[in-house]
Amino acid sequence: MNAAVAAIKPRKPSGLALVPTMGALHEGHAALMRTARESNAAVVVSIYVNPTQFGPNEDFAKYPRPLEADCRICEREGVAVVFAPTDNEMYPGSQPRLRGRGQLAASTWVEELQVAKRLEGERRPSHFHGVCTVVAKLFNIIQPDRAYFGQKDYQQLKVIQRMVRDLCYPIEIVSVPTVREADGLAMSSRNRYLSPDERAQALVLWKALNCARDLFAKGERDPQRLQTAMAQVIATAPAARLDYAEIADGETLEQRQKVKRGDVALIAAFVGATRLIDNLIL
Ligand code: AMP
């Protein structure tokens, strides 16, 4: 083939993609699969509700597990393999659900100690060591060329990027923008816990983030003022209780003295008993 023909012939996507999920799949997950399909020869979706990333009083037991419906979505999206392991396959010889940090039968853990420190890491102390450990295991089992993560879990994305760099994984981490409902609520498997009234009130997270973005666009650079404004919006919904509303450095997630473009506004709030998170890059 001469060079001119080679240049115009569309290149076949090559490589193996991994899309790690906990199942209860929705359009946000489907967007990850579609993005992965565009530039890979095959896509593996893992479906595993990882016990070690849940705190003792969190929703591990009631987390939805509609495996058959999930497999249909994967099939529709052209996924080559669904990897849905058991606890014993992921944590051989241990019962991770029963053990807190420090008393685990599994004695090897993967931890990221910088980006994971604040925000979710502070409120959910064992969350990211569970996430890093399970993602490292999935990387070792599947050995993908690329792995796809949603910006919806912004801190998780940054923790994984950092882990991959620190541990020299030969894997490209691809981030995918947050998929939202028509009114702006970020899609989440946990949205199905919300009653119709809570679902309506949950929109305050998105409203609060937009309020921060508008103030930033008008020239506000004081993180405290943006945080207070976000908290005030959350307070307008009687069913909502703020966990945190913060502006952080877009890479390290450290606190800011002065807000800059590329920083991120992050919110966690309970709506009724359901804890939701969302974020927006400024
Ligand atoms: P989960 O099943 O909640 O652990 O999420 C699996 C992956 O899907 C993670 O990388 C999430 O960030 C991503 N994800 C979840 N919700 C969304 C969304 N609304 N838009 C884009 N990605 C998402």
Centre a 10 Å sphere on the Cβ of residue 14 and count the other Cβ atoms it contains: 10
Question: What ligand 1 atom has the least distance to the C-alpha of 25?
Answer: 2
Q: How far is the CA of 59 from the centre of ligand 1 (A)?
A: 17
Q: pLDDT by residue (tens digit) across 89-119?
A: 999 887 665 545 444 556 789 999 999 999 9
Closest C-alpha residue for ligand 1 atom 5: 21
Q: pLDDT by residue (tens digit) across 51-83?
A: 999 988 899 999 999 999 999 999 999 999 999
Tokens standing for 192? 């199905």
- The CATH homologous superfamily to which domain 189-281 belongs is Pantoate-beta-alanine ligase, C-terminal domain (3.30.1300.10)
- Report the DSSP pairing between strands 146-150 and 274-281: unpaired
Q: How far is the CA of 28 from the centre of ligand 1 (A)?
A: 6
Q: Which of 63, 77, 152, 275 has the most ligand 1 atoms within 8 A of CB, as the residue to mutate?
A: 152
Going edge to edge, which strands form the sheet with 42-47?
81-83, 42-47, 16-21, 146-150, 172-176
List, by residue range, all CATH 3.30.1300.10 domains of the chain: 189-281
Q: How far is the CA of 220 from the centre of ligand 1 (A)?
A: 30
Q: pLDDT by residue (tens digit) across 192-251?
A: 999 999 999 999 999 999 999 999 999 999 999 999 999 999 999 999 999 999 999 999
Pick the CATH number of 16-176 from 3.50.50.60, 3.40.50.720, 3.40.50.150, 3.40.50.620: 3.40.50.620
The residues assigned a catalytic role are 29
